[in-house]
Structure formats: C-alpha cells, structure tokens
Amino acid sequence: MKLDTGFYRKPTLDIARDLLGKVLVRSTDRGSDLLAGQIVETEAYIGQDDRACHASRGRTPRTEVMFGPPGHAYVYMIYGMYCCLNVVTESSGFPAAVLIRAIEPLEGGDEMKRNRGRDLPPHQIGSGPGKLCQAMRIDRNLNTESLTGSRLWIEDRGYEVGEVLSSPRIGVAYAGTWSARPWRYFRADNPHVSRHPLNASGTFLSQR
C-alpha cells in the first residue's frame, strides 16, 4: 500500500523510525518494471535551529522544497556527482526532512547493479545515500516530486523490522553540539546499512 500524505505530517523523528521496513519504489522507462528496496537506515533533520539541517542557512531556492508541504522529495547533490534523497515532513512552513540512507534491494537488483556500473554483492548496492540514488536512478529531476505520484513513492508491505538502533548522524561534525543528536536510525540485524551496527556506537532504541 502506497503511503499517503498523512504519513508524512507526523513528527520527523517518528517518521524516521517508521520509514524503516517501508519500501522505496522507482518506476522505470519500461512501464511495468520497477526498482524497489526496503528502507533500512534513515536520518532526521529538523528545523532551522538544527545546525546540521540545510534549512539552518535560511529559505533559499535549494531549500524551498523543505518549507513546502510534506510528502515531497528533496533531492540534492553532494561532491558534485552524487544525489541524496530526502522525504519532506511535518507541515508547510516548517523545514524538516528524513534522509534515506540505505536500502535492501528487493526488485530490479540486476538493473541496480548496472546503474551502479559494477557487479556488486547485494549488501553493497544501496548501502549509502549516494549509492541508493545511483542504483535507483534518483536524481535532481525528481526534486520536489510528490511521493504519492507515479515516478517515485514509498509503500508499506508489512515487513517486520526487529531491533532498531540509533546513533549520531554521519558526516555532520560541522554542526557542533547538534552533531551528537542520535537522529540516525537503522535496523540492527541488517547488513545493508551504510555502517554496520557493531561499528556505529548505536544504542538500543526499541523493539518493533
């Protein structure tokens, strides 16, 4: 079942946890073919006070989508070559989003490998925000895309999640004390996360 807009209106930390086990789906140019992966790792970014959030620099053409309605994609580029997918959350006017950090491939794994440009074991196909966007052909053309549309969406297929761990977000040391917020969530038992739980200094969060 495709998630509706109401799912994305909740508090961002709740959404970051609740997205684990949901399925990210990308339609392809070949009609009925789909690329799909179970979301196994996320990060939350909440408001202009959050120094790790892009919106902390104010409302700009780049961050405008974050100030808009929930349930839209915020896709930006890093290092001039990789894209990252974020899900806009909460209410219009309040900039918040969840970064999709890793997926476990479910459908279209061979095509995902071709999109990555190499033959990879399954656990390396989408084990990072840039990797999963490359694998699923998510780029800036999908920025502002509605996640209730026909090109990119998220489904609930009823997967059990198990243990969920939290840790500080990755790569945001510049954010000072905000970098220590344990706003990264990931499945403890899943090898597809970008960094294995045993090396992530995570703390047990909940049984789901």
Q: Where are the domains of the chain?
A: 5-207
Average pLDDT by stretches of 10, the chain with 208 residues: 97 98 90 88 98 94 96 93 96 98 97 94 96 97 97 97 95 95 96 70 41
Report the SS3 class of residue 136: coil
Positive or negative CA dihedral for 55, 48, 134, 78? positive
pLDDT, position 202: 47
pLDDT, position 31: 54
pLDDT, position 81: 85
pLDDT, position 204: 41
Q: Which amino acid is at 84?
A: C
What pTM was estimated for this model as a whole? 0.92
CATH topology of domain 5-207: 3-methyladenine DNA Glycosylase; Chain A (3.10.300)
Exposure class string for 155-191: b at 16+ Cβ within 10 A, else e? eeeebebebbbbbbbbebeebeebbebbbbbbbbebe
Residue 142 has φ and ψ, to the nearest 5°, of -100, 5
Report the SS3 class of residue 73: strand
pLDDT, position 195: 77
